Amino acid sequence: MLPDEVSIVTPTFNQLPFLKQYIASLERQLPDPAAFEVVIVNDGSTDGTGDYLDAYQGPLRLEVIHLKENQGRSSARNRGIEATSGRLILFLDGDVVTPNDLVQGHSERHTGKQEALLGRIIYRKQGQTRAWTRFLERRGAVRLPPGREIPGHHFLTIHSSVPRDLLVKCGGFDESLAIYGEDIDLGFRLRKVGVRLSFAPELEVLHLHVRTLEESLKVAESFGRTTLPQLMIRYPEMSELMKFERITVDGWSGRWRRAALSRGIYRTALGLTKALGTIGAPPVLYSYLLYYHYYQGFQQRDRTRWP
C-alpha cells in the first residue's frame, strides 16, 4: 500500500503534553506528512485537548472527533475507524513518539495479504521505572521466534496496523470491553476470520507514558476482575494460558500453588523487587507479581455473570 492509503486512528484522554509530542513526531514523517490521514478521537478530555486540536494548523491532514464524555478506548477507536477513508488503519496511542519512517514502513509491509501487524514498543527509561520498562520490552511477541504467527493474546493496539476491510469483517472493537483487554479480544477475533497476526520488530515507537510497577499491578488486578473473566469464557486459549484451575485442585500440586500465591510470599516478592530498584529484579519476579494480581482480580469478579 501507499502512504496515502493509510489512516491513523488515535484515541486520547487527558494527555495533552504527550499528545503534542506525538503530533510533532507525525509532522516529521517522510516523505510527506500530508500524505496520510490522522483521525484523533478526543474521548472526553478536560485538560485543554479539545481547544488544542481545534486550533491545529500544521501540515497533517487531521480530523478531530470530540466525544462529550469519556466512553473508553473501544468506543473511541470505533468512532475513529468510522471516520477514516484509508484502506489501512494504523492504530497509535497518543502518548507515543514515532520515527520519521513509521507510516512508510507500515504501508510497505502490507502487500494485500490477510495480515495484521504488531509493531515494537520501546519505553522511555527514567527513574525507578527503568528496570520495569526493560522487562516490559521483553514480554509478548518479542519473545517469539522470528516469522512466527503471534497468538491473539499478544495483540496490542498501542502500535499496530490492520487493513480496514478486515476490521469491518470482524466487527471492530467490542465496546462492552471498556476497561482493558479490548485489543486482546480483537486479536482473537481477527484470527478467527483468517487474519495472520505478525510481529514487525523493525517498526518501533517510543512510549512516553510509563506506569510505575505499583500502577501496573493495579491495572492487572482491574483487568483480572473485569475483562479477563469474559475473555476466558470466550476463548479457551485464555483459560489454558492463565491456568487458574490448577490453583484450586486437591492434592499437593494445588496446595503448593496456593501457598505460592499466599500474602506472605507475595509481600516477600514485592519487597525484593522494590529493593532491587533500578538494578532490576529477575523477570520471573515481575511475572509472578503480575500473575498474583491477575488472580486476585479474578477472585473478585462478579460471579453472577462470570462463574
Mean pLDDT confidence for 281-287: 93
pLDDT at 30: 95
Distance CA 256, CA 26 (A): 51
CA atoms within 13 A on the CB side of 6: 29
pLDDT band at residue 307 under the 50/70/90 scheme: confident
C-alpha 150 chain-centroid distance: 14
Which residues sit opposite 38 in a β-bridge? Answer: 8, 62
Give the pLDDT confidence of 195-251 residue by residue, as tens digits: 999 999 999 999 999 899 999 999 999 999 999 999 999 999 999 999 999 999 999
Distance CA 210, CA 87 (A): 31
User: Which set of grid coordinates corresponds to residue 210?
Assistant: 510509563
Give the pLDDT confidence of 4-54 residue by residue, as tens digits: 899 999 999 999 999 999 999 999 999 999 999 999 999 999 999 999 999
Mean pLDDT confidence for 290-302: 96
Fold held by 3-207: Spore Coat Polysaccharide Biosynthesis Protein SpsA; Chain A (3.90.550)
Distance CA 128, CA 134 (A): 11
Residues of the chain with CATH 3.90.550.10: 3-207
Mean pLDDT confidence for 268-282: 89
pLDDT band at residue 179 under the 50/70/90 scheme: confident
> pTM value?
0.94
pLDDT at 1: 75
Mean pLDDT confidence for 254-263: 95
pLDDT at 283: 92
Q: Are 297 and 221 in contact (CB under 8 A)?
A: yes
pLDDT at 46: 97
Q: Answer yes or no: is pLDDT of 292 > 90.
A: yes
C-alpha 65 chain-centroid distance: 21
Give the pLDDT confidence of 103-152 residue by residue, as tens digits: 999 999 998 889 999 999 999 987 777 889 999 999 999 999 988 999 99
Residues 6+ apart with CB under 8 A from 22: 10, 92, 94, 95, 96, 97, 98, 208
- Nearest to residue 13, comparing CAs of 104, 74, 59? 74
Task: Name the percent of the chain in helix, strand, coil, to the closest 5.
Answer: 50, 20, 35
User: Which set of grid coordinates corresponds to residue 241?
Assistant: 494460558
pLDDT at 306: 85
Instruction: Return the percentage of the chain with pLDDT > 90, whole number.
Output: 88
Mean per-residue pLDDT of the chain: 94
pLDDT band at residue 280 under the 50/70/90 scheme: confident
Dump the DSSP string for 65-91.
Answer: EEESS---HHHHHHHHHHT---SEEEE
C-alpha 68 chain-centroid distance: 24
Question: What is the C-alpha end-to-end distance of the chain, expressed in Å?
Answer: 46
